[in-house]
Amino acid sequence: MHSVRVFMTTTDSTDTRSTAPWATKRDPSGRHLVRRLLPWLGAIVLISAVVWGLWPKPVLIETGVIVRSPLTVRVSEEGKTRVRNRYIVAAPVAGKMRRVPLKPGDAVEAGKTVLTLIEPVVPPLLDPRARVQAEAVVSMREAAHKQTAESLAALKAALQLAEANRDRMRNVKTAGTLSDADRDRAETEALVKAAEVRAAEFSLQVIDYELAQARAVLDRPDGNGSNNLIEVKSPVSGRVLNVRQESETIVAPGMPILEVGDPADIEIEAEILSRDAVTIRPGDSVEVEQWGGEKPLKARVRRIEPAAFTKISALGVEEQRVIVLSDLVDPPETARALGDRYRVEVRVAIWHADDVLVVQSGALFREDNAWKTFIYRDGKASLTAIEAGHSDGRLTEVLSGLRPGDKVLLHPPDVVKDGSDVREKD
């Protein structure tokens, strides 16, 4: 036993001496091979991840189907309501107007409701020079009156003499005593004198009127009496729309006081661009939206005014616009709440077809002065040129290039090209 132990010890010492200190010890389990492969495995995984990340993926898109349906092209513009017939009540005479008791919205009745009272202005006092002139005019008219009266008396005397001579000649019955010429001369002279008397009487009446007018300049009537007040009454039945002058003030003839009209009788006024107005005709259907109700109101175009006007847009661009007037067709009871100058949205129909091939406008885009779209086929985007017709902004008429049932890409992103892989959204 002792010799065996010595032998084993000697063997271990010999192995130890034959192995270099820097030599790698072998792992009897083979784990050193796995450690050597780990970096390579990591590099492979990293490269695979990069390749997978850079590999092109299908683009998620939305699609629309080409169908046949009715299409109506409309011109949309802001509009406003207005009373069809509005009346501006003005002062009939100059004077002191009393305060207007009415407020906007008050009901008025034609010929009965007193809108205000006007006290005529008292004529101003005459200065000494003007009074002397006025008195001289009165004296001149009085002298002319006396002169005309004397002339009338002389003409009446001449008329009596002419009638007496005529009567004497009528009483002579003996033939051959008076000639026919003498008889005719007497008759004519009587007629002429009678006409001169009537003319003098008319002249005397004119002188009387002129004398009264001259005396009125010297008179200064009292304007404080209640009999001098002038009542301004409503010309129509309806409601007060606007009071332009409410307080008591001095008014001149023709000065506006208030506006009167019937708010139930309204029309729609829209300022349409001139290039769109030329396509509108009287009788075209109109939809009135954004008026405060749930459903749009139906209306008809009544008139397109022939003269345009210049209007500055919100962007500072000069635009030529035309006023288009429309009438409501069978408005509901809730529409009676609309008043004067209410804002609405007007959509005028300028073209309509009952059955056309349409595509959603979001699927079309311009390229090289041509309309194009992407057709979805077996997961691929196929670029196709089409011929577009009328459009209402949401749907566009397709004249050629597409067929019913085709799927097109809606709002395709810029990364989509002809032949790109695409996938529909769920």
Task: Pick the closest to residue 300 from 330, 278, 335, 263 (CA basis).
Answer: 330
Asked if residue 166 lies in contact with residue 189, where contact means CB atoms within 8 angstroms, the answer is yes
What local confidence, expressed as pLDDT, does residue 72 receive? 92
CATH number belonging to domain 61-72+355-424: 2.40.420.20
pLDDT in tens, 11-58: 444 444 455 555 555 555 556 676 777 788 888 878 877 777 666 677
Range from 267-271, 363-367, 410-414, 421-425 carrying the lowest mean pLDDT? 421-425
Number of C-beta neighbours around residue 313 at 10 A:
10
**For 176, phi and psi rounded to 5 degrees?**
90, -5
d(CA 112, CA 54): 88
Residues 6 or more apart from 210 whose CB is under 8 A from it?
141, 144
Mean pLDDT over 66-78 rounds to: 93
- The single-letter code of the amino acid at 163 is E
pLDDT in tens, 89-119: 999 988 899 999 999 999 999 989 999 999 8
Rg (CA), the chain: 54
209-215, long-range: CB within 8 Å, 24+ apart, which pairs? 210/141, 210/144, 211/138, 211/141, 211/142, 211/144, 211/145, 214/134, 214/137, 214/138, 214/140, 214/141, 215/138
Q: 143-158 burial, b if ≥16 CB within 10 A, otherwise e? A: ebbeebeebbeebeeb
**For 35, phi and psi rounded to 5 degrees?**
-65, -35
284: pLDDT strictly greater than 90: yes
Q: Which of 1-10, 151-160, 348-357 has the highest mean pLDDT?
A: 348-357
d(CA 179, CA 258): 79
What local confidence, expressed as pLDDT, does residue 74 receive? 92
- Neighbour order of strands in the sheet with 107-108: 86-90, 256-261, 238-243, 107-108
What local confidence, expressed as pLDDT, does residue 417 receive? 87
What is the secondary structure of 344-401 as a DSSP string?
A: EEEEEEEEEEEEEEEEEGGG-EEETTEEEEEEEETTEEEEEEEEEEEE-SSEEEEEES
In the chain, % of residues over pLDDT 90: 44
Mean pLDDT over 134-161 rounds to: 88
Asked if residue 232 lies in contact with residue 99, where contact means CB atoms within 8 angstroms, the answer is no
d(CA 78, CA 291): 11
Q: What is the DSSP letter of 14?
A: H
Averaged pLDDT score across all residues of the chain: 85
Structure tokens belonging to residue 416: 């989509």
Range from 21-35, 181-195, 212-226 carrying the lowest mean pLDDT? 21-35
Mean pLDDT over 175-192 rounds to: 79
Q: Which of 56-60, 169-173, 184-188 has the highest mean pLDDT?
A: 184-188
What local confidence, expressed as pLDDT, does residue 229 receive? 85
**CATH superfamily, domain at 73-81+263-352:** Efflux pump adaptor protein, beta barrel domain (2.40.30.170)
d(CA 126, CA 134): 9
Enumerate the β-bridge partners of residue 410. 62
7: pLDDT strictly greater than 50: no
Number of C-beta neighbours around residue 3 at 10 A:
6
Range from 126-140, 215-229, 237-251 carrying the lowest mean pLDDT? 215-229
Q: What is the dihedral of CA 379, 382, 388, 392, to 10 degrees?
A: 30
What is the secondary structure of 149-199 as a DSSP string?
A: HHHHHHHHHHHHHHHHHHHHHHH--STTSS-HHHHHHHHHHHHHHHHHHHH
Alpha carbon 294 to chain centroid, angstroms? 22
Number of C-beta neighbours around residue 405 at 10 A:
8
1: pLDDT strictly greater than 50: no
201: pLDDT strictly greater than 60: yes
User: Could you tell me the CA-to-CA distances from 226 to 120, 161, 401 in Å, in that order?
Assistant: 11, 56, 86
Range from 201-205, 290-294, 299-303, 347-351 carrying the lowest mean pLDDT? 201-205
Question: Can you say whether residue 74 is alpha, beta or left, with left for phi > 0 and alpha for psi between -120 and 50 degrees?
Answer: beta
Burial of 273 (0-12, 13-18, 19+ CB in 10 A): middle
245: pLDDT strictly greater than 80: yes
What local confidence, expressed as pLDDT, does residue 285 receive? 93
Alpha helix positions (H), 172-268: 180-218
What CATH topology corresponds to 85-122+225-261?
OB fold (Dihydrolipoamide Acetyltransferase, E2P) (2.40.50)
d(CA 345, CA 267): 13
* Beta strand pairing call for 256-261 and 67-83: unpaired
Residues 6 or more apart from 420 whose CB is under 8 A from it?
59, 380, 381
